[in-house]
């Protein structure tokens, strides 16, 4: 596994975990990069394609079609899994159909077992492509 390409990118512009580990890092044994802005996320993807991108937020603009399209423009993007993570009470959860580049939509709270399964699936997809 090429560790420079096998990492998880989390875009969490609303995240308040600046000094602490991000909640999605808990219990995972994979490299994780947490971006606080779309610009930071795109910059990181330009340095190396992640296996998994998790777009966190209840604001549809945080993981809108232009951002997903921009992430998908890279040569290695077909083997990158992109999912959005939102609260169950958010009215945004049903907008995933308007964002065709998303591979899935997850709803908080996200159990560690589901997260591990998602990560394993994304890494397997990344390696097999």
Digit-by-digit pLDDT tens for the chain (129 residues) are 344 457 889 888 877 655 566 667 666 778 889 898 888 998 998 888 898 999 988 766 556 778 888 888 877 677 789 988 888 776 555 554 566 788 888 888 888 888 889 988 888 887 776
Q: Is 67 a domain residue?
A: yes
Q: Is 70 a domain residue?
A: yes
Count of domains forming the chain? 1
Of 110, 94, 100, 91, the residue nearest 12 (C-alpha): 110
- Find the CATH number of the domain harbouring 62: 3.40.50.2300
The CA R_g of the chain, rounded to the nearest whole Å, is 13
| Residue 90 backbone phi and psi in degrees, to 5 | -75, 135
Q: Is 2 a domain residue?
A: no
Q: Is 1 a domain residue?
A: no
Q: Is 3 a domain residue?
A: no
Evaluate if pTM is beyond 0.85: no
- Which residues span the domain enclosing 58? 8-128
Taking the C-alpha atoms of residue 19 and residue 129, their distance in angstroms, rounded to an integer, is 36
């Amino acid at each position: 596994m090429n560790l420079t390409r096998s990492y998880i990118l989390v875009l969490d512009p609303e995240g308040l975990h600046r000094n602490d580990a991000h909640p999605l890092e808990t219990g995972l044994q994979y490299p994780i990069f947490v971006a606080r802005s779309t610009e930071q996320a795109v910059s990181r993807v330009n340095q190396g394609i992640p296996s998994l991108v998790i777009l966190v937020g209840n604001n549809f603009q945080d993981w809108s079609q232009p951002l997903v399209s921009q992430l998908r423009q890279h040569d290695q993007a077909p083997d990158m899994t992109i999912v959005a993570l939102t609260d169950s009470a958010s009215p945004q959860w049903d907008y995933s159909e308007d964002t065709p580049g998303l591979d899935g939509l997850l709803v908080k709270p996200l159990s560690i077992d589901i997260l591990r399964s998602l990560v394993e699936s994304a890494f397997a997809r990344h390696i097999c492509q």
